[in-house]
C-alpha cells in the first residue's frame, strides 16, 4: 500500500533556503567537509528501467524489492570526500553492485510506500540534511544496534517514541541532492544504514565469513509476519555520558557541537552525536571511533535481529539487481 506524496515532498525540496545552502556545501565543501566527488562512472546510478517506473508508482519486480546498491567493503577514507564514483568497490557477494562511499543498502520502491521499523526499538532522532540523505529517522534497537532510514518523504514518528517490529514510521520518497541531480533516471529508494557499536556495518554477510547476518533470514530479508508485529523485545541503550563528552570535545565544528548539546535528552544528544560523527566524520578528531563505540556502554556481537523495513502487505522479499 502506498499514499500519494507530491513531487516537492518526495524530493525534500523545502525549505528552499536550507536545501540550497546544503546543496552548495555538498558541491563545494568547507573547512571541515571535503567536497563530494563525481565522475563518468557515477552515471551507473542512472537506471531508467527502475527509475521512471518507480517514479510513476509502478513495481517493476512485483512483490520483490529491488536492491540497487549494496554496502561497499572498500570505501575510501572520508578525508577524500564523499564519492559517488565507481573505482574500487566490492559488495558482500564479491560483485560491484555499489559505489565508492556507499555505506548502506538501497531498497528501490515507489514514493509514498510505507517504511516500517526493522525491529523493535526507540526513535532517537528525526532530521533532514539535504546533502546527506535528506529526511531520515534513526532507531535504537539496543545491544549496540542502530538503524537509519534515509531519503524519506514524510516522517510519521517523533524522538522518544517506542516502536514495535514492523510498525510504520514514514512514507518513502527520494529526498536529498542526489535525487534532484538524477531525476527521473535514478530510482527512488530508502537508503538503510546499519550501525553496530557506533560504526557502519553491512547487515548482509559474505559467504566466505562465518559471522552471522543481521537479517533474521540471513541474506534473504523479508518483512515481519503479521503475527510478529506485537514484538516488544527491546532494551533501550544506557547511553554513556562520558563517551558523549569525549565525542563533543573532539568535534572541530562549533555549529555541530551546539546542535548536539541543544538536544533535550541524553538519548537525543547521543543520537545526534552518532549521526554527525558517522555522516560528517571529518568534523571529529581521531578518537571519534572509540568514543562512538563507547556510547553504547559495551561491545556487542552481531546477531540476526532485523527484518525488511517494509510491510508484509506490500512486499515478500528482495531481488538483487545487476
The string of pLDDT tens digits covering residues 106-136 is 999 999 999 999 999 999 999 999 999 999 9
Contact 123, 169 (CB under 8 A): yes
Task: Quickly state the pLDDT bin for 229 (edges 50, 70, 90).
Answer: confident
Between the two ends of the chain, the Cα-to-Cα distance in Å is 26
pLDDT of 231 above 70? no
CATH assignment of 7-237+296-320, given 2.70.70.10, 3.30.540.10, 3.40.1180.10, 2.60.120.260? 2.70.70.10
Of residues 46, 184, 164, the one with CA closest to residue 111:
184
pLDDT of 307 above 80? yes
Distance of alpha carbon 169 from alpha carbon 158, whole angstroms: 9
CB-CB neighbours of 187 under 10 Å:
29
Residue 94 falls in which region: left (phi positive, over 0), alpha (psi -120 to 50) or beta: left
| DSSP letter, residue 218 | T
Q: Decide: helix, strand or coil at residue 34.
A: coil
Q: Decide: helix, strand or coil at residue 223.
A: coil
Paired residues of 194 in beta bridges: 147, 201
Q: What is the mean pLDDT of residues 94-114?
A: 98
User: What does the pLDDT read at residue 7?
Assistant: 95
Contact 140, 249 (CB under 8 A): no
User: What does the pLDDT read at residue 207?
Assistant: 87
What average pLDDT is seen over the chain?
96
Distance of alpha carbon 212 from alpha carbon 301, whole angstroms: 9
Task: Quickly state the pLDDT bin for 145 (edges 50, 70, 90).
Answer: very high
Q: How many helices (H) and strands (E) does the chain have?
A: 8, 11
pLDDT of 37 above 80? yes
Which pTM value belongs to this model? 0.97
Amino acid at each position: 500500500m502506498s499514499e500519494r506524496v507530491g513531487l516537492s515532498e518526495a524530493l525534500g525540496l523545502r525549505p528552499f533556503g536550507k536545501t540550497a545552502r546544503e546543496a552548495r556545501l555538498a558541491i563545494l565543501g568547507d573547512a571541515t567537509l571535503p567536497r563530494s566527488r563525481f565522475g563518468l562512472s557515477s552515471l551507473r546510478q542512472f537506471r531508467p528501467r527502475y527509475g521512471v517506473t518507480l517514479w510513476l508508482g509502478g513495481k517493476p519486480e512485483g512483490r520483490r524489492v529491488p536492491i540497487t546498491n549494496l554496502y561497499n567493503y572498500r570505501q575510501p577514507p572520508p578525508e577524500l570526500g564523499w564519492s559517488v564514483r565507481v573505482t574500487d568497490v566490492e559488495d558482500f557477494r564479491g560483485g560491484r553492485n555499489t559505489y565508492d562511499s556507499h555505506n548502506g543498502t538501497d531498497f528501490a520502491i515507489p514514493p509514498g510506500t510505507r517504511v516500517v521499523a526493522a525491529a523493535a526499538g526507540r526513535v532517537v532522532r528525526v532530521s533532514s540534511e539535504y546533502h546527506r540523505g535528506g529526511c531520515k529517522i534513526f532507531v535504537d534497537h539496543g545491544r549496540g544496534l542502530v538503524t537509519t532510514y534515509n531519503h524519506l518523504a514524510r516522517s510519521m514518528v517523533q524522538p522518544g517514541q517506542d516502536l514495535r517490529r514492523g510498525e510504520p514510521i514514514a512514507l518513502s520518497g527520494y529526498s536529498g541532492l542526489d535525487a534532484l541531480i538524477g531525476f527521473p533516471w535514478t530510482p527512488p529508494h530508502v537508503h538503510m544504514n546499519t550501525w553496530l557499536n557506533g560504526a557502519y556495518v553491512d547487515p548482509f554477510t559474505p559467504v566466505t565469513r562465518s559471522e552471522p547476518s543481521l537479517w533474521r533470514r540471513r541474506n534473504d530479508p523479508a518483512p515481519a509476519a503479521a503475527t510478529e508485529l506485537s514484538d516488544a523485545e527491546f532494551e533501550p541503550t544506557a547511553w554513556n555520558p562520558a563517551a558523549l563528552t569525549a565525542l563533543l570535545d573532539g568535534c572541530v565544528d562549533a555549529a555541530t557541537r551546539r546542535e548536539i548539546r541543544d538536544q533535550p535528552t541524553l538519548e537525543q544528544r547521543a543520537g545526534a552525536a552518532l549521526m554527525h560523527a558517522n555522516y560528517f566524520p571529518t568534523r571529529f578528531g581521531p578518537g571519534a571511533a572509540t568514543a562512538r563505540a563507547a556510547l553504547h556502554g559495551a561491545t556487542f556481537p552481531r546477531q540476526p535481529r532485523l527484518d525488511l523495513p517494509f510491510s508484509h502487505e506490500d512486499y515478500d522479499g528482495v531481488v538483487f539487481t545487476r
